[in-house]
């Protein structure tokens, strides 16, 4: 049969595209070669958050213990936690499958291939099926990528998929790549008592963030006795005699129970026959126009188009594409400011432009204003006072917000609204911030004296 919409990939982008399209009354086929939920649910955001949630008492206790207010011990049973994670994921997948059923979406398990225009060939365990489509959505996601010599061996050298799949948490861990994925997983291992080493080729942790955010994060990790090695390149990783061995370009060798390689992710756009469907690829990314079209009636969303590697960005694009396929959306895709979060404690949040972005765009009027978390009673209450909130202004309007410290992810949605609306000084008191709240640190930052960026 010919579907109104065929979607390849059932991660956050693809699943939402399928569901939203069906809600618009379109007949939808969803093709997935592995599990419903994709990387985010099965091998990414969600299991990591379950790990962080289950271990948050450890960090809270450590903070209060430092002040001699609390004592005791919290032991998390890693095997029980992994069991719970698997149960949670299975339950979520089941709920997703039920939702597909209710909406009359046909789920085709197997690998999709664009055999000829207007057709998807699905190779599944039960053989091959050919689906006709009027509109196609490519939502094939991403997978970990590696530099030569850093490929995981599944023994002691792991990628993030393998790390999440472990049976025990290592007592010592080397993390290659100080981005959000590496730092979240390192925080979990740290809570389990692991000795942590972090290596990055850049000169700071979280190198995509504001340099002051990197500095604050680095200071906290150093206080935790993490061995942080920056501006260092890794020549190779290997399992040697049952242990992980890492060789730096300097020839220095480091060993640990495990190495986690988290140097980046790249789009999954090979072996699908995308070129046959008229899709152009650049560095593996499906090139799309302002309507997220990779070819006539062919859309590419989420990690597959490589614009922003974030689940919520994929979902937001899915919403647009579904509306467009249903004839409800004429104009181009407008993402608005995209929030990003590093979870744990400390956390990092960022939305809109960074100080550098803003300065490069308009160096005459870029200003920043800042509030330290140490002055906030909720940060004090959690004995976690390192960090700050920074507001980036351009031409008198808020164009970005970033923050680092305990629980700063809670500023994310409000900050996104404020950046989207481009608040000016006069808007600051248009709403009330609850007192006391960590959110007031954002209010304080909005009100603080501004410094010209130069």
Q: Using CB under 8 A, which residues numbered 221 to 250 contact its own copies? A: none
Integer CA distances (angstroms), 352 to 230, 397, 417, 421, in order = 27, 12, 10, 11
Backbone φ/ψ region at 416: left (φ over 0), alpha (ψ -120 to 50), beta: alpha
Residues 49-108 that bind its own copies (CB under 8 A): 49-50, 52-57, 60-61, 64, 67-77, 80-81, 84, 88, 92, 95
How far apart are CB 110 and its own copies at their closest, in Å?
27
How far apart are CB 332 and its own copies at their closest, in Å?
15
CA distance 316 to 334: 10
Nearer to its own copies, 85 or 268 (CB): 85
Residues 6+ apart with CB under 8 A from 330: none
3-state secondary structure at position 365: coil
Nearer to its own copies, 44 or 218 (CB): 44
Residue from 112, 410, 441, 446 in contact with its own copies (CB under 8 A): 410
Q: Are strands 387-394 and 340-342 parallel, antiparallel or unpaired?
A: unpaired
Instruction: Please list the residues that pair with 229 across neighbouring strands.
Output: 199
Q: Which two tokens stand for residue 380?
A: 């004090």
Whether residue 411 contacts residue 401, with contact meaning beta carbons closer than 8 Å, is answered with yes
Site string for its own copies, 11-50 (x = CB under 8 A): -x---------------------------x----xx--xx
How far apart are CB 277 and its own copies at their closest, in Å?
27
Residues annotated as catalytic are: 435
Nearer to its own copies, 12 or 170 (CB): 12
Residues 271-310 that bind its own copies (CB under 8 A): 310
CA distance 248 to 234: 4
Main-chain dihedrals φ then ψ at residue 157, nearest 5 degrees: -110, 115
How far apart are CB 358 and its own copies at their closest, in Å?
19
How far apart are CB 321 and its own copies at their closest, in Å?
12
Angle, CA of 182, 383 and 406, to the nearest 5°: 35
How far apart are CB 223 and its own copies at their closest, in Å?
19
Residue from 145, 247, 255, 437 in contact with its own copies (CB under 8 A): 437
Residue 436 binds its own copies, judged by CB under 8 A: yes
State the helix-helix crossing angle for 45-54 and 56-66, rounded to 10 degrees: 40
Residue 331 binds its own copies, judged by CB under 8 A: no
Nearer to its own copies, 55 or 353 (CB): 55
CA distance 212 to 182: 19
CA distance 372 to 159: 36
Site string for its own copies, 334-373 (x = CB under 8 A): -xxxxxxx-------x------------------------
From 141, 138, 140, select the one nearest 6 (Cα to Cα): 138
Nearer to its own copies, 368 or 444 (CB): 444
Residue from 371, 412, 441, 445 in contact with its own copies (CB under 8 A): 412
């Amino acid at each position: 049969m010919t579907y109104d919409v065929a979607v390849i990939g059932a991660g956050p982008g693809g699943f939402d595209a399928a569901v939203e399209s069906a809600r618009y009354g379109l007949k939808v086929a969803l093709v997935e070669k592995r599990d419903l939920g994709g990387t985010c649910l099965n091998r990414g955001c969600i299991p990591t958050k379950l790990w962080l949630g289950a271990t948050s008492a450890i960090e809270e206790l450590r903070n209060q213990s430092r002040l001699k207010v609390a004592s005791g011990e919290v032991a998390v049973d890693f095997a029980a936690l992994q069991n719970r994670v698997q149960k949670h994921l299975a339950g979520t997948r089941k709920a997703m499958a039920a939702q597909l059923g209710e909406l009359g979406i046909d789920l085709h398990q197997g690998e999709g291939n664009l055999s000829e225009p207007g057709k998807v060939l699905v190779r599944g365990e039960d053989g091959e099926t050919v689906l006709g489509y009027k509109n196609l959505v490519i939502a094939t996601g991403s997978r970990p990528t590696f530099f030569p010599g850093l490929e995981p061996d599944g023994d002691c050298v792991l990628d993030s998929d393998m790390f999440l799949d472990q049976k025990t948490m290592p007592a010592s861990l080397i993390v290659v790549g100080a981005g959000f994925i590496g730092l979240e997983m390192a925080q979990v291992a740290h809570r389990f008592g692991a000795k942590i080493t972090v290596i990055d080729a850049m000169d700071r942790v979280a190198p995509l963030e504001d340099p002051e955010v990197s500095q604050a994060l680095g200071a906290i990790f150093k206080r935790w006795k993490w061995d942080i090695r920056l501006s260092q390149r890794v020549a190779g990783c290997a399992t040697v005699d049952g242990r992980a061995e890492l060789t730096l370009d300097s020839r220095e060798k480091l060993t640990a129970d495990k190495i986690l390689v988290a140097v980046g992710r790249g789009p999954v756009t090979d072996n699908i026959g995308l070129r046959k469907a008229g899709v152009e690829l650049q560095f593996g990314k499906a090139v799309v126009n302002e309507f997220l079209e990779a070819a006539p009636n062919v859309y590419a969303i989420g990690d597959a188009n490589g614009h922003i590697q974030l689940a919520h960005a994929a979902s937001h694009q899915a919403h647009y594409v579904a509306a467009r396929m249903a004839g409800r959306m004429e104009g181009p895709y407008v993402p608005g400011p995209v929030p990003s979060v590093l979870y744990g404690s400390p956390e990092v949040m960022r939305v809109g432009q960074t100080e550098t972005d803003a300065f490069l765009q308009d160096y005459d009027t870029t200003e920043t204003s800042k509030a330290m978390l140490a002055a906030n009673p909720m940060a004090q209450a959690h004995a976690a006072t390192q960090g700050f909130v920074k507001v980036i202004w351009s031409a008198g309007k808020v164009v970005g917000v970033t923050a680092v410290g305990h629980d700063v992810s809670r500023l994310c949605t409000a900050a996104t609204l404020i950046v989207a609306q481009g608040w000016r000084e006069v808007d600051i008191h248009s709403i009330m911030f609850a007192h006391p709240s960590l959110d007031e640190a954002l209010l304080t930052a909005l009100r603080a004296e501004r410094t010209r960026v130069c």
